[in-house]
Amino acid sequence: MKSPLQDSNVRKVTEKDIIHIFSEVFHFSKKPVLSGSEFDDCAAIDLNFFVSASAGSEPSADASAHSASLLFSTDTVHRKTDFPPSMSPWQIGWMSAAVNLSDIAAMGGKPVAFLAAIGLPADFSLDDTRELALGIHDCVSLFGAEVIGGDTEFHDELTITGTVIGVSGNKNIIYRKNAKPGDLLCVTGFAGSAGVALDILLNDPAFQAAGVDINSAPPSFLKNLTEPYPRVFEGLALSKTGAVTSMMDTSDGLAVSVYELAEMSNVGFIIDAEKIPTEEEAFRILSRVCPDSSSAKEVLLQKALYTGGDYELLFTISPNQLKLVEDVFEKLNAAGKSKSGLSFKSGYVSRFSVIGQAIGEKTVYLRTNLENSMQLKPLLKKGYDQFDK
Q: Which residues are annotated as a binding site for ATP?
A: 150-151, 176, 251
CA distances from 325 to 85, 109, 186, 320 (A): 39, 17, 10, 10
User: What letter does residue 167 receive in the DSSP assignment?
Assistant: E
Q: Of 9 and 373, which CB lies nearer to a copy of itself in the complex structure?
A: 9
Q: How far is the CB of 229 from a copy of itself (least distance, A)?
A: 21
Cβ-proximal residues to 219 (8 Å cutoff; 6+ apart), any chain: none
Q: How far is the CB of 28 from a copy of itself (least distance, A)?
A: 7
Q: Of 158 and 289, which CB lies nearer to a copy of itself in the complex structure?
A: 158
Q: How far is the CB of 186 from a copy of itself (least distance, A)?
A: 24
d(CA 219, CA 226): 10
Helices (H) and strands (E) in the chain, counts: 13, 13
d(CA 298, CA 150): 44
Q: How far is the CB of 15 from a copy of itself (least distance, A)?
A: 6
Q: Of 22 and 293, which CB lies nearer to a copy of itself in the complex structure?
A: 22
75 alpha carbon, distance to own chain's centre: 12
Q: Of 264 and 354, which CB lies nearer to a copy of itself in the complex structure?
A: 264
Q: Which residues are annotated as a binding site for substrate?
A: 82, 384
d(CA 193, CA 74): 25
Q: Which residues are annotated as a binding site for Mg(2+)?
A: 41, 73-75, 103, 151, 249, 252
Q: Of 129 and 287, which CB lies nearer to a copy of itself in the complex structure?
A: 129
31 alpha carbon, distance to own chain's centre: 27
Q: How far is the CB of 173 from a copy of itself (least distance, A)?
A: 10
CB 238 within 8 A of CB 247: yes
Bridge partners of residue 366, in order along the sequence: 271, 377
Long-range pairs for 61-67: beta carbons < 8 A, 24 or more residues apart: 61/31, 61/32, 67/169, 67/170, 67/171
Q: How far is the CB of 29 from a copy of itself (least distance, A)?
A: 7
Q: Of 173 and 366, which CB lies nearer to a copy of itself in the complex structure?
A: 173
Q: Of 50 and 344, which CB lies nearer to a copy of itself in the complex structure?
A: 50
Cα torsion through 282, 287, 289, 290, rounded to 10: 120
Q: Of 30 and 284, which CB lies nearer to a copy of itself in the complex structure?
A: 30
d(CA 226, CA 324): 32
Q: Which residues are annotated as a binding site?
A: 41, 73-75, 82, 103, 150-151, 176, 249, 251-252, 384
Q: What sections of the chain are H helices per DSSP?
A: 15-26, 47-54, 79-82, 89-105, 126-142, 193-201, 205-209, 219-226, 232-239, 254-265, 280-289, 293-306, 322-337
Ramachandran category for residue 108: left, alpha or beta (phi over 0 → left; psi -120 to 50 → alpha): left
Q: How far is the CB of 309 from a copy of itself (least distance, A)?
A: 14
Q: How far is the CB of 176 from a copy of itself (least distance, A)?
A: 14
Question: Three-state DSSP class for 223?
Answer: helix
